[in-house]
Structure formats: C-alpha cells, structure tokens
C-alpha cells in the first residue's frame, strides 16, 4: 500500500474520531424571562401589602458533556448559569429596594430522550449556588443599603432541543431555580422562592 493511501486512511480515521468526540460536548446560550410568584408581606399595614416581581430579563449560558448513552437516550452533566439583569420590585410602601439582580449556577444531570432525532425532549435536575445583589435605591426614593446575600438552590428543568444544521440547534427551556429569599428588607410569607426561567436560544455540539 502506498504512503499516500496510508496518509489518507489516517486522516479519515482521525476525522471519524473527531466527529465522535465532537458529540460529547455542548454549549448553549439562551435569553428569556424570570417569573416569580407574588409574596405577601408579614405585618404590612399599607395598601398593596404584597411583594410583586417584574419578570426580569435573563440570560442563560450552559456547558454540557455526555457521560452515558448515545442515540436514543443520553445522560449529560450540565452546568447552567443564569443571570437575571434586573428584577424590578413593587409594593405600597417605600421599604424595599427598587430592584435586584441575581446569578445562579447549578451543576446538574440532564437526560435527553430521542437524542438522535430532530426533536429531543429533556429533563434536568441539580443544585448549586446563587447570589442576589439589591439596588442601592429604595422603591420610591432614598438610599438602600444595597445588601447582597448568598443562597443554596435546587434546579429542575425541562426543554426541547431541535436539530437545525450540522452541530447547530435550537433549544426551548423552562427551569425552576428554587432559592432562599433575596435581601428585600421585609419578611414575606415564604422562606424560599421559585424563580421560573423560560427562554430559548441556540446550541452547539463539538
């Protein structure tokens, strides 16, 4: 066999190895909104005695790697990172910050069903860390201490991946980051809160 043919075989083999390993890794970027249920404020005596949230614009970045299965059913380790830029707040008295921002990171396990099909539904579960950053202004004017706080969190997610072209795809996702309370200067009826992220974006496998 000639040297050129051996070189061609080696190039083809390395290409196939590259293609196989390429499917193990995945990056995704999504944009959406975070929805938080209204909470009642303990001891509030003013009109509109509830804490309302403003559905903050949120970005999610995610790295995932397949560690088991291939084709119909795949298990992936993923690390979703969500950044809520500005969660506006509202109530009837000037006792809360006007807004806060938050970051959540939640190492998780994700299972993709029909992973080799055009449409692949998935579910995810995990936990991790979050941090809230309160505004330095009160809702109706004045200075807020601008407190920040840490929280542990649990994450549950569901979604749908759609293959588009080559390594590229589209993702629709919904996640619940279940966290402690942010530093909002009032006691509410809940010790923990649900942060429901709903969004869509692109995926890239490599």
Counting the structural domains of the chain, the total is 1
| Domain CATH for 181 | 2.40.160.20
Residue-by-residue pLDDT tens, the chain, 206 positions = 554 554 454 444 444 444 444 479 999 999 999 999 999 999 999 999 999 999 999 999 999 999 999 888 999 999 999 999 999 999 999 999 999 999 999 999 999 999 989 999 999 999 999 999 999 999 999 999 879 999 999 999 999 999 999 999 999 999 999 999 999 999 998 999 999 999 999 999 99
**Structural domain that includes position 173:** 3-205
**Strand extents, DSSP E, the chain:** 25-35, 39-40, 50-53, 57-68, 73-90, 99-105, 108-113, 119-134, 148-165, 168-180, 192-205
What pLDDT was estimated at residue 1? 53
What pLDDT was estimated at residue 5? 54
């Amino acid at each position: 066999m000639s040297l050129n043919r051996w070189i061609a075989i080696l190039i083809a083999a390395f290409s196939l190895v590259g293609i196989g390993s390429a499917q193990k890794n995945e990056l995704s970027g999504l944009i959406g909104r975070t929805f938080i249920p209204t909470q009642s404020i303990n001891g509030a005596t003013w009109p509109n005695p509830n804490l309302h949230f403003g559905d903050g614009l949120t970005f999610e970045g995610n790295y995932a790697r397949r560690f088991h299965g291939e084709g119909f059913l795949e298990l992936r380790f993923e690390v979703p990172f969500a950044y809520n830029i500005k969660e506006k707040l509202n109530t009837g008295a000037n006792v809360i910050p006007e807004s806060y921002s938050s970051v959540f990171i939640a190492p998780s396990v994700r299972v993709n069903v029909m992973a080799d099909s055009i449409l692949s539904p998935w579910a995810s579960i995990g936990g991790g860390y979050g941090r809230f950053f309160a505004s330095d202004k009160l809702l109706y004017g004045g200075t807020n201490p601008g407190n920040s706080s840490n929280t542990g969190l649990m994450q549950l997610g569901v979604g749908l991946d759609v293959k588009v072209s080559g390594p590229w795809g589209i993702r629709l996702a919904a996640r619940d980051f279940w966290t402690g309370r942010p530093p909002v200067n009032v006691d509410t009826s809940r010790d923990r809160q649900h942060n429901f992220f709903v969004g869509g974006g692109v995926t890239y496998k490599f």
